[in-house]
Amino acid sequence: MHSREEKGMSPDISIDFCGLRLASPIVLLSGCVGFGEEYTRVEGFSNTDVGAIVLKGTTGQPRLGNPPHRVTETAMGMINAIGLQNPGVDHVVRHILPTLDFAETRFFANVCGSTIDEYVEVTRRFDDSPIDAMEINISCPNVKEGGVQFGNYPEMSARVVEACRKATKKPLITKLSPNQTDIRENARRCIEAGSSALSVINTISGMAVDVKTRRPVIGNVQGGLSGPAIKPIALLKVFQVAEVAKPHGVPIIGQGGICSATDALEFIIAGATAVGVGTALFYDPFACKRINEGLSAYLREHGFDSVQALTGSLNTSQEPHRGVC
C-alpha cells in the first residue's frame, strides 16, 4: 500500500469528530466569532479553513450581559466578562441559523443556562435545527449563576449532561472548567452521563486592577483569562483528561492559547483530536490558514499521512531531555 506522499497527495488534515467529518482539526471557539459572521467581513478570511465554528453562548431568553468594562488586555492574553450577551435561542434558531452556510463548514451551538431546565430547553430548540453538534457550557467563569457553579462540581456537571443527553441525539461536547479540584473526575462523570466529546479547557478565572482608581478594571470584577498565558495549564489539562477519555473513544477539543501550528501540534500530541482557536483571531484573523499550512508541513516532514495519526502520540518515557540542566 502506498502512502499519500508516494501518490503525490498532501497529508490529510481532516478529522473524524463524533461521526462528523471536519475539513481541518481547527475549531473556532465560542464567543470569539459571534454567530459565525464576525470574520466574514475580513477580506481573505474563509470558513473553509476551519473544521467547525462554535456559535456564541446561547440561553433560553435574551441576555444583556455584564456591565462594562467587559474586556481588558493582559500580559500574553486577555480577560473577558461578556456575561453571555445573546438574543436568546428562539431568535438564533429562527433568524441566525438560516443565514449560515452549512456547506462551508460545520456549526456547533453553545448551550448555556442558569438552571438544568434552561439547559434542556436550549438543547431541545437546537436539536430541532440544522446545527451539527452542541457544546454544553457548564464552565463560564464570568456569570454569577449557572456556568461555573455547575462546571466545578462533578455531580452537577453530570446532571446537566445527563439531562441534555435525553433532549437530543446530536453530539454533545461538554466544556470543562480548569477552575476545579480534579478535572479528570469531572471528565469521567460527564462521559458516563453521555457526553460525546469534551472541550478542554475553558478560560481561567482572573482579574485586573486599575491602580489609579483602585477599582477592578472589569465591571464584573472577575472574568476569564485566555491567550498564550494559559497554554501550559491547558496543555496539562488536555493530557490529564485524555487519560480518562481515550479508553472510551471520546475525542477532545484542546484549547487555550493556541496561536501557531506548533501550539496546535502540542495539543494534538498530548491527546486532542481537534484544537480550538480563539484569542489569536483578535490580532491575526488569518491564524487558521497559517496553522493548517504548518500542520501539513509537519506531517510531510515526519512522514505522517494524517493529522489523526498524531493524536495522543506523546512519548512519556523517562529518558533525559538533552540540553536542559
CA–CA dist 296, 25 (Å, integer):
12
Residue whose C-alpha cell is 497554554: 231
164 belongs to the catalytic site: no
- Return d(Cα 82, Cα 69) in angstroms, integer: 9
| Candidate list 32, 140, 164, 190, residue with the active-site label | 140
CA dist 167 and 129 (Å) reads 13
CB atoms inside a 10 Å sphere around CB 105: 23
Q: Measured between alpha carbons, how far is residue 179 from residues 6, 147, 202 in Å?
A: 47, 12, 9
Q: Return d(Cα 56, Cα 256) in angstroms, integer.
A: 17
Contact 137, 109 (CB under 8 A): no
**How many beta carbons lie within 10 A of that of residue 39, not counting itself?**
21
Which whole-number Å values give the CA distances from 275 to 82, 219, 247, in the listed order? 23, 30, 20
Peptide bond before residue 201 is cis, with ω within 30 degrees of 0: yes
Counting every residue, how long is the chain?
325
Report CA torsion sign: 264, 32, 242, 12. Answer: negative
Give start and end residues of each alpha helix (H) in the chain: 89-91, 116-127, 148-151, 154-165, 183-192, 231-245, 261-270, 287-302
Give the C-alpha separation, 176 to 234, whole Å: 11
C-alpha cell, 26: 481547527
| Amino acid identity, position 196 | S
The residues annotated as belonging to the active site are 140
